[in-house]
A and B are shown apart, each in its own frame.
Chain A
Amino acid sequence: MLTIPSAIFSALQAHGEAAYPNEGAGLLLGRVNGGDKAVVDILPLENRWNTEEQYHRYQITPQDALHGEKEAMRRGLDVVGFFHSHPDHPAEPSAFDREWATWPGYSYVITTVEKGRATVSRSWLLKEDRSAFDEEPIQIGDPAVRGARSQQSTI
């Protein structure tokens, strides 16, 4: 389960909308608790893939990832995964996403942005044998108000 506070989830989707018609991407900062992860904040980043191909490609450079890791450490958090958008495409990992996948355990949140508007976001975990991704449930809601049904929803 990946828990994302509603305000952070909105910011994540807004980053995808701002990048449209290109892909937008960034890092998920949070805490790991066994098999579950709680996102505390996101670090939106610039798409470093060459501009002409950004409509279907994204890149986060090692320098940006290093910056993110240090920012997470400074705040007592960890990089727990990544997010990116699929302009006018399903929120599922593409063959290219599989090819470039890093380590099992990181959450890969993919958001469909349809005609400039973010719709569905889904999270994916690489299988241990790296052959495919499994879906990871996302829970949107502020941990502080968990239990108040009206404040959260599971997508």
Chain B
Amino acid sequence: MATIRIPAPLRPYTAGSAEVPVAGPTVGEVLGHLTTQYPNLKQHLYTEAGELRAFVNVFVNDEDIRHLQGAQTPVKERDRLMIIPSIAGG
């Protein structure tokens, strides 16, 4: 089963899990299942309009899904997904 790595500040919303096994044919569906399993996680990944927050990046095996097929990127057995923030400020 594929796994998704949860950044430290989001673990309070995944019952402390750093890695969560996930199922689903695409990244979009995997994230959908993840936020159904852990509903309090949703607001930290998505805006109220249901868009992935601008600073949230998802990598599949070290590849940014924005450079693949976005939410339609296929997820295979044993893929490793990571949620990574873009950081900026002034």
Asked whether, in the complex, the Cβ of B89 is within 8 Å of the Cβ of A94, the reply is: yes
Q: Which of B4-12, B29-37, B70-78 makes up part of the contact surface?
A: B4-12
Tell me how far the C-beta of A109 lies from the nearest C-beta in chain B, rounded to whole angstroms: 12
**A-side contacts of B18, CB under 8 Å:** 78
Interface of B, helix, strand, loop or mixed by DSSP: mixed
Tell me how far the C-beta of B81 lies from the nearest C-beta in chain A, rounded to whole angstroms: 12
Chain A contact residue count (CB 8 A cutoff): 34
Number of A-B contacts (CB under 8 A): 82
Interface residues of A (CB under 8 A from B): 23, 25, 32, 49, 56-63, 65-66, 69, 73, 78-80, 82, 84, 93-97, 100-106, 108
| CB pairs A–B below 8 angstroms (14 shown) | A32-B11, A49-B88, A62-B84, A62-B85, A63-B64, A65-B84, A73-B5, A79-B8, A94-B90, A97-B89, A102-B85, A103-B10, A103-B44, A105-B12
